[in-house]
Chains A and B, each alone.
Chain A
Amino acid sequence: MGMNNNINQIPMQQTYNPYQGQPSNQPALQPQNQEQVQPVIYNVPNQQIYTNAPDNNQGVSSLLKNYIMANGKQLNNVAQVQAVNMEANQSGNWQNNLKTMLRSSQAQFMAVIPRTMNAKDTDGNALIQNGEVRGNFINAIDRLDELKALGVNTLHVLPIHPPGKTKAMGTAGSLYAPADLLKVDPALKDPNTPGTAEDHCKKFIQECHKRGISVMLDLPSCASVDFAQKHPELMSYEKNGNDKTPGGWQDIRMFNVFEDEEKRTLNPHLLELHKKYVDMCQDLGFDGIRADVGRAKPAEFWDIIISYSRAKDPNFGWLAETYTYEDASPQLNMPHDRPTELLKAGFDTYYGQYHIIDQWTKASQIRNYINEQIALQKEIPDGEPRPPIGSMSTHDDQSPMLYGGSPWVQFTTILQSTMPLCNPYFVDGVQSGDYYLYPYEHAQAPETETDTHECTVHKGRIDIFNYSRKPGGKNPEIGKQITNMLNLRQGEYNDVITKGSTCWIKPKQDNDEVIAFARQYGNKTLLVVGNRNVNKRNSAKLELRDIKKDQQLTDLTLPYGEKSYIQTENGELKLDLAPSRIHVFEINAPNIESDAFDVSKFVNGRYTKVK
């Protein structure tokens, strides 16, 4: 092959330097029979095969053995160096505990996009141009107090890398089409503040930490066309030499994750890139990583990368974009989705299926899904819980405002704030009812930073393709509800919501549009009753032996939408619920478990269904 297999020539020994690491190897990686980009078949030395096939002689995984053999040589001479956490010094006494938060349902997310987070759209056309101020790390800091006030304690920062410009989507390029995974987009640097984009990023994170907010960075699953052309050794190709492109996304190219898929030998170059990515994140001060399209890489891959990140920061948090078990993938070139194996590989939380809650028109569908997630916990060998996020709004889905307006968004807010096994999750803009409708949709913009002038927009979804306005809408009451619920969740009722048992009550005259469950921990009980129907009122009667006729019920939610009518009788609660209306009452109900038909309890650190 003429390819040099000498491990010393692979730039593993170098500290990450995005511009210096690759060039030395580039000539060797150039394809032989084509001028620019084409598949390269590596003849990888056996020492470098990453596999989990057991090595009987050594008693340890040969993957590890190989990894050590491949990388260990360089490490021998620096055994005595002690670690100094410079970042910790710079951000006060910040102690990352994101992993614990995620696993114990304590994280309360907001997904943010730095390049639009605090953009100043002075002309009102929603597109930031002609000298208008774009969002950047420095002006984003101005919004942190607002987020903090909402009750948000974790940010999911969408990708911050310079986007690829070739075959791009949108005039700024897609956030998920990085031209360089190991670099912060210079556009996110505030021109009026000294320092590099990386410096500004660090500053932003420090400010988050000062406010007690953890920060996760979004790791794109693929790379831009520009990146792919530069790094063929990392990329995956069709047999005919064409780039492998995930179905529906023409601007990105897929990584080659396996050196030999049959033997499940991982691509050492890709592992190396991701190891460096972790290094970069930790250098910048991020507390965790959100893995975009988790299924794009196998469990073995994540096992190494997550373990690697944790070796350096045991509480480094990982969120997997993984939804539900698939027999096969409906998306071209993409592997099937298997949440369990990713959670086993070390992810702390995952997307789950709450993004399709608008299709679950019955209370039983929500209950069944929660129960499925409770059952899934048993499959995780380490015994620690893996709650999903309350992904009722995500950047990949249409704004929940389009389904049911402000009442529906408040409904989902209250529901995810009181459900068991859930890290509440919001996308920036939802807190004030953003419909994510952009007037420039598919218009030709005069200014562009990519090879297209078309303002690509996925209708009803937050813009990830252009320099657009700051997210936000005209329904501030949603933000108040979020503030109310997240603070309630973090405060007095934290144990009830994160560790309390869940008791589902069957309404009399079985009405599957009425949601009724109680959360109980110690002598505290919260009763949640709601109407899943966004258009129509629903009545029901709950038989609860502890309810007294003269009992006063105080709703812990802020009022919204139409008014509900709730009447107490001895031993029962009569409900006439307004559309999309959900209420939370603290009640004294020692007998709630026996009134319930479906009960899950928090036993030995995780939920188990007991009835």
Chain B
Amino acid sequence: MLNNNQNNMMMNNLSLRQLGDREVFQKFLAKPEHVTKDAAKGHLVKENVGQQFTSMLTDNFKDISNLGEAFVSGKSNDHALGRMNDLGMKLGGSIIAAALMGRKATTNKKLMEIFGFTTFFSTMSLWPKIAIDLPTKLRFGFNPHQKYVDSQGRKKQFFLDNQYLPWDVWSKEDINKVADKMKVPKDLKDREEYTKEKMRTIALQDNTLWMLTAGLASPLLTSLVCNRIEAGLKTPVAKAELQQVEKNISNIADKTLSMSKDTNITGKSDEAFSAIYESLKKGEMPKNLEEQLSEIFDIRKGIQNEDLVNRLQDHGTGKKLYDILFKDTKSSLKFEDSDLLKFLKETDPENADEILGILNKAKGEVDPDKGLKGIVQHLEKQYSRKGQSIIGKGSKKAAANGGLINKKWVAALSDLSQNDKAQAKAYAKQMSVYNQEELAKKAGELSSLYENWLKPSQANMRFLEKNLSILNNVSGEKYNSVAKTFVKTLGFTDKEIKVLKASNEAAGGDIQQKLTEKLIEVAQDETKYNKAIKKLDKQIAKIDKQGEKGLTSKITDAFNSLVDKVKGSLTGTSKGANKELQSAFGDILTEGLSKNDAASLGADITSVNSTLIRFKAALELERDIQSGKLITECAEKMGLNAADITDVQKTDIIESLRRMCWQSSFGDAMNKGYKTGNGKAYSALIETIFPKAAEGAENGKSSWQKAVNELFLRETYIPNPSLSKEGDDIWNAYVGRAWGAFDEYNGNSENVKKITNFGQLPKETLEQIQNEVTGGKASEYFKPSNVKFADYGESVLSAVKKQANQMYNDRTWMKVFGGATIALVGFTLISQLFFGKVKDAHLYQKKEDKDTFESGK
């Protein structure tokens, strides 16, 4: 039966339930303790910087091992896969950096690939830490990128997923500390809940901000940091490289020379050697090696021509056979069977009868004019086996004897029989052989020489040659720094630099005028002037003091000396090596390397120095102009009063000096009448400016000219000896002598081909004259044009223009990137001021009045 009386059931159960309740409580009382929630299996990661670093390493190691496992077993999980993304970026980045490194020529650029890569990753990691985490930590007391270890032992970011926050890994104490830092009211009823919500909100905002800014921050910061690193790297890297080059030269020199001392090979250098060498370089077997080696090492053939003829004539078998076969006549085959058979029995008993038959058969068929040769040809043609026996390929005995009829000597003999000596000689030569043993020995020596010494030494020399290009970088760097100092010294404003950048040097105009104005401005102000000179002096001193110049010249000297030594010392080796061969080796080793190359590389730093001196000269000239000293002195030298010089003349003097001092380039010097140095040009100028000077010049030397020349040369000092007064004099003397030699050359009847100017005289003749006019110092005055160029230095005008361009670009870049970075940092920091506002914060209630609570009202 169903008890469907609801009320009854309720009534009955009332007492039951009350009793039950009581029993429940009694049981509760008996329970020793109550269940509550389990502690979290995960925990927050709290690490100091050292531990963080260790963790980073172990985490990366784990990632690598996970990746390895994934490759092997194909197994992974979402967490490990997610982390592999980072690992992939790092590995991929390293590979790209390494690949790019390989493509870069200079150490600087190679290093920058590594720095670029590491900086990018560092900024990527540091940006949120510094721009976001740190301000949050300082302001709100927690790290929005706080990590925790989850129940599976995986390290994760706590706020990674804003909807999945395992709050129980935080202790109440830690939350309270954050709440205190956030100044959450102590009397808030849901203080902990409110704090968590605030943390969640802030972390979400932080993460959003991070995502918004990271894409800009990483490239911006990387470029700024790398820009600084690159600048900072240049000098130390260049210096380290220079030192390395110096060391390399010294090492290579030692090695090459010490190996050359051990070389004990004699021979002679000729075309054959070059041919062998060229083939070896290509990795090919030289053609006609035997002949070429025999040429180089003078290996004689085993059999002399004369001997051969004699031996052929004395050759028992051949002579005998010849006599039997051509008994009475030398022109047809005619023999006694018995004689031939006897002979055959001795030499080829097995086939004697048969051969006799064959030869008999041949009697009528052999062209009598061809003699023995004819027989051989006939036999070859007609009889295979037996014929072979006769001509040396048949029976064993016959073969051992070289055959009854040795083709070669038969042919020779046949020719001899016709008394053709020349042909006989040719045959003899063909038959003679080189001493193979000697040939092999020499070939071996040569090969070992090539493999063990020539090849590596040559590679070393090429390496060195490449190394030398580093000098370019050093001087390039120095040049920039010097020019920058100068432009800065003149005090160009950003605006002026922009104008300079925009102006066209070729059109004259702005830049020349601007520079003149600036020079005047500095020259007129003693303090500024002294300061500028001091700065330039400091730079000049630096070039020497810091060793660039010294080290550079040391290197070029060392290189030159190495080239010389390699070339020279080989010829002087003590062990009797053949001079010609050694010299050939020297040529090969230094092939393509010239002292001039080294000199011009070394000259770059000289060019920097010269340019610097021209900067200083420009300032000094302007100072003299502005102080009036120049004109006074000019007048004085010319024996005039300063007042006698008209304004027009003054302007002419000043402008000309300015032009020569700092506006002229080496090209001007070479092309616009300065070829013989300043002196003549100045003379011409002076004559233009002061007609009287021209008059005086008619009598030969004008005192005006002389005096003014001196002054001009001093004021427009350009550090090029060939352009000095002394250089002028030497040049004049040289030209005089050279024209003399020119006449002499064309007057000589032996010289069929006439020349049109002295420059076409033989090199030796010109060098001899140069040495004579300079007292043996030709190299100081007669330099290659690139060295002269370096000595001349760059035109101040052009240097300033270039530098202005560079500075403008640098400043523009810095303005854009620096500005963007500042804006980004500002945006990032300022926006954080608005963070942390909890939605519906007003709904979090204050605690009730404590008294009320406790009183239980």
Contact flags A298-334 to B (C-beta < 8 A → 1, else 0): 1110111001101110000000000001011110100
> Is the Cβ of B164 less than 8 Å from the Cβ of A330?
yes
Partner pick for A300 among B13, B35, B168, CB 8 A cutoff: B35
Contact flags A231-267 to B (C-beta < 8 A → 1, else 0): 0000000011100000000000000000001101000
What residues of chain A lie closer than 8 Å to B163, measured between beta carbons? 330, 332
What residues of chain A lie closer than 8 Å to B40, measured between beta carbons? 327
What residues of chain A lie closer than 8 Å to B21, measured between beta carbons? 71, 75, 275
User: Taking the complex as formed, is A475 at the interface, i.e. its CB lies under 8 A from any CB of chain B?
Assistant: no
In the assembly, what is the distance between CA of A312 and CA of B168, in Å? 35
Residue of A nearest to B191 (CB): A262
Number of interface residues of B (CB under 8 A): 60
What residues of chain A lie closer than 8 Å to B19, measured between beta carbons? 75, 78-79, 81-83
What residues of chain B lie closer than 8 Å to A336, measured between beta carbons? 166, 168
User: Taking the complex as formed, is A94 at the interface, i.e. its CB lies under 8 A from any CB of chain B?
Assistant: no
Q: A299-B35, A299-B36 are in contact. Are A307 and B28 (CB under 8 A)?
A: yes
Residue of B nearest to A379 (CB): B38
Q: A81-B18, A303-B34, A307-B27 are in contact. Are A5 and B856 (CB under 8 A)?
A: yes
What residues of chain A lie closer than 8 Å to B193, measured between beta carbons? 261-262
> Is the Cβ of B843 less than 8 Å from the Cβ of A240?
yes
User: Taking the complex as formed, is A606 at the interface, i.e. its CB lies under 8 A from any CB of chain B?
Assistant: no
Residue of A nearest to B21 (CB): A75
> Is the Cβ of A199 less than 8 Å from the Cβ of B31?
no
> Is the Cβ of A311 less than 8 Å from the Cβ of B151?
no
User: Taking the complex as formed, is B848 at the interface, i.e. its CB lies under 8 A from any CB of chain A?
Assistant: yes
> Is the Cβ of B18 less than 8 Å from the Cβ of A78?
yes
User: Taking the complex as formed, is A448 at the interface, i.e. its CB lies under 8 A from any CB of chain B?
Assistant: no
In the assembly, what is the distance between CA of A267 and CA of B40, in Å? 24
What residues of chain A lie closer than 8 Å to B856, measured between beta carbons? 5, 45-47
> Is the Cβ of A327 less than 8 Å from the Cβ of B3?
no
> Is the Cβ of B16 less than 8 Å from the Cβ of A338?
no
List B100-124 residues whose CB lies under 8 Å from chain A: none
Least CB distance from A294 to B in Å reads 13
> Is the Cβ of B24 less than 8 Å from the Cβ of A307?
yes
> Is the Cβ of A312 less than 8 Å from the Cβ of B24?
yes
User: Taking the complex as formed, is A124 at the interface, i.e. its CB lies under 8 A from any CB of chain B?
Assistant: no
> Is the Cβ of B18 less than 8 Å from the Cβ of A41?
no
User: Taking the complex as formed, is A567 at the interface, i.e. its CB lies under 8 A from any CB of chain B?
Assistant: no
What residues of chain A lie closer than 8 Å to B851, measured between beta carbons? none
* Residue of B34, B42, B166 with most chain A CB atoms under a 10 A cut-off: B34
In the assembly, what is the distance between CA of A9 and CA of B166, in Å? 39
In the assembly, what is the distance between CA of A67 and CA of B191, in Å? 26
What residues of chain A lie closer than 8 Å to B192, measured between beta carbons? 262
> Is the Cβ of A327 less than 8 Å from the Cβ of B34?
no
> Is the Cβ of B23 less than 8 Å from the Cβ of A311?
yes
What residues of chain A lie closer than 8 Å to B11, measured between beta carbons? 15
Least CB distance from A231 to B in Å reads 20
User: Taking the complex as formed, is A84 at the interface, i.e. its CB lies under 8 A from any CB of chain B?
Assistant: yes
User: Taking the complex as formed, is A64 at the interface, i.e. its CB lies under 8 A from any CB of chain B?
Assistant: yes
In the assembly, what is the distance between CA of A346 and CA of B163, in Å? 30
> Is the Cβ of B840 less than 8 Å from the Cβ of A311?
no
Least CB distance from A534 to B in Å reads 20
Contact flags B1-45 to A (C-beta < 8 A → 1, else 0): 111101001111111111111111111110101111110111000
What residues of chain A lie closer than 8 Å to B854, measured between beta carbons? 46
List A69-94 residues whose CB lies under 8 Å from chain B: 71-72, 74-75, 78-79, 81-84, 86, 90
List A20-41 residues whose CB lies under 8 Å from chain B: 41
Q: A264-B36, A328-B167 are in contact. Are A83 and B20 (CB under 8 A)?
A: yes
Q: A81-B18, A90-B3, A336-B166 are in contact. Are A239 and B844 (CB under 8 A)?
A: yes
Residue of B nearest to A62 (CB): B34
List B605-623 residues whose CB lies under 8 Å from chain A: none
> Is the Cβ of A68 less than 8 Å from the Cβ of B845?
no
> Is the Cβ of B9 less than 8 Å from the Cβ of A283?
yes
> Is the Cβ of A86 less than 8 Å from the Cβ of B4?
no
User: Taking the complex as formed, is A17 at the interface, i.e. its CB lies under 8 A from any CB of chain B?
Assistant: yes
> Is the Cβ of B2 less than 8 Å from the Cβ of A202?
yes
In the assembly, what is the distance between CA of A12 and CA of B79, in Å? 51
Contact flags A395-434 to B (C-beta < 8 A → 1, else 0): 0000000000000000000000000000000000000000
User: Taking the complex as formed, is B165 at the interface, i.e. its CB lies under 8 A from any CB of chain A?
Assistant: yes
What residues of chain A lie closer than 8 Å to B1, measured between beta carbons? 90
Q: A90-B3, A341-B35 are in contact. Are A311 and B27 (CB under 8 A)?
A: yes
> Is the Cβ of B853 less than 8 Å from the Cβ of A43?
yes
What residues of chain B lie closer than 8 Å to A310, measured between beta carbons? 27
In the assembly, what is the distance between CA of A310 and CA of B165, in Å? 36
What residues of chain B lie closer than 8 Å to A287, measured between beta carbons? none
> Is the Cβ of A327 less than 8 Å from the Cβ of B150?
yes
Least CB distance from B745 to A in Å reads 99
What residues of chain A lie closer than 8 Å to B191, measured between beta carbons? 262
> Is the Cβ of A344 less than 8 Å from the Cβ of B2?
no
User: Taking the complex as formed, is A586 at the interface, i.e. its CB lies under 8 A from any CB of chain B?
Assistant: no
> Is the Cβ of B42 less than 8 Å from the Cβ of A327?
yes
User: Taking the complex as formed, is A196 at the interface, i.e. its CB lies under 8 A from any CB of chain B?
Assistant: yes
In the assembly, what is the distance between CA of A448 and CA of B42, in Å? 48
> Is the Cβ of B6 less than 8 Å from the Cβ of A196?
yes
> Is the Cβ of B28 less than 8 Å from the Cβ of A300?
no
In the assembly, what is the distance between CA of A261 and CA of B189, in Å? 11
List A85-111 residues whose CB lies under 8 Å from chain B: 86, 90
In the assembly, what is the distance between CA of A164 and CA of B224, in Å? 65
> Is the Cβ of B18 less than 8 Å from the Cβ of A74?
yes
What residues of chain B lie closer than 8 Å to A239, measured between beta carbons? 839-840, 843-844
User: Taking the complex as formed, is A490 at the interface, i.e. its CB lies under 8 A from any CB of chain B?
Assistant: no
User: Taking the complex as formed, is A358 at the interface, i.e. its CB lies under 8 A from any CB of chain B?
Assistant: no
> Is the Cβ of B166 less than 8 Å from the Cβ of A327?
yes
In the assembly, what is the distance between CA of A29 and CA of B28, in Å? 30
User: Taking the complex as formed, is A503 at the interface, i.e. its CB lies under 8 A from any CB of chain B?
Assistant: no
Q: A52-B34, A81-B18, A298-B37 are in contact. Are A279 and B23 (CB under 8 A)?
A: no
In the assembly, what is the distance between CA of A182 and CA of B45, in Å? 47
User: Taking the complex as formed, is A340 at the interface, i.e. its CB lies under 8 A from any CB of chain B?
Assistant: yes
What residues of chain B lie closer than 8 Å to A298, measured between beta carbons? 36-37
> Is the Cβ of B28 less than 8 Å from the Cβ of A64?
yes
Residue of B nearest to A200 (CB): B2
Least CB distance from A268 to B in Å reads 14
In the assembly, what is the distance between CA of A71 and CA of B151, in Å? 40
In the assembly, what is the distance between CA of A239 and CA of B201, in Å? 15
User: Taking the complex as formed, is A345 at the interface, i.e. its CB lies under 8 A from any CB of chain B?
Assistant: yes
What residues of chain A lie closer than 8 Å to B25, measured between beta carbons? 64, 67-68, 71-72, 75
In the assembly, what is the distance between CA of A300 and CA of B37, in Å? 7
User: Taking the complex as formed, is A63 at the interface, i.e. its CB lies under 8 A from any CB of chain B?
Assistant: yes
> Is the Cβ of A311 less than 8 Å from the Cβ of B35?
no
User: Taking the complex as formed, is A60 at the interface, i.e. its CB lies under 8 A from any CB of chain B?
Assistant: yes
Residue of B nearest to A15 (CB): B14
What residues of chain B lie closer than 8 Å to A312, measured between beta carbons? 20, 23-24
Nearest 10 CB-CB pairs, A to B? Answer: A327-B166, A328-B166, A311-B24, A239-B843, A199-B2, A15-B14, A195-B4, A52-B34, A341-B38, A303-B35
A-B pairs with beta carbons under 8 Å apart, 27 shown? A5-B856, A43-B848, A46-B856, A52-B35, A64-B29, A64-B31, A68-B25, A75-B25, A79-B19, A86-B12, A194-B2, A198-B6, A239-B843, A239-B844, A275-B21, A283-B9, A283-B13, A302-B35, A304-B28, A307-B28, A311-B26, A312-B20, A327-B151, A327-B164, A332-B163, A338-B38, A341-B37
Give the B-binding residues of A (Cβ under 8 A). 5, 15-17, 41, 43, 45-47, 52, 60-61, 63-64, 67-68, 71-72, 74-75, 78-79, 81-84, 86, 90, 194-196, 198-200, 202-203, 239-241, 261-262, 264, 275, 279, 283, 298-300, 302-304, 307-308, 310-312, 325, 327-330, 332, 336, 338, 340-341, 344-346
Give the A-binding residues of B (Cβ under 8 A). 1-4, 6, 9-29, 31, 33-38, 40-42, 150-151, 163-169, 190-193, 839-840, 843-845, 848, 852-854, 856-857
- Identify 18 new A-B residue pairs, CB closer than 8 A, beyond the known A52-B35, A78-B22, A298-B37: A5-B857, A60-B29, A64-B28, A72-B25, A83-B19, A86-B3, A196-B6, A239-B843, A240-B843, A283-B9, A300-B35, A303-B34, A307-B27, A311-B27, A325-B41, A327-B150, A327-B151, A338-B38
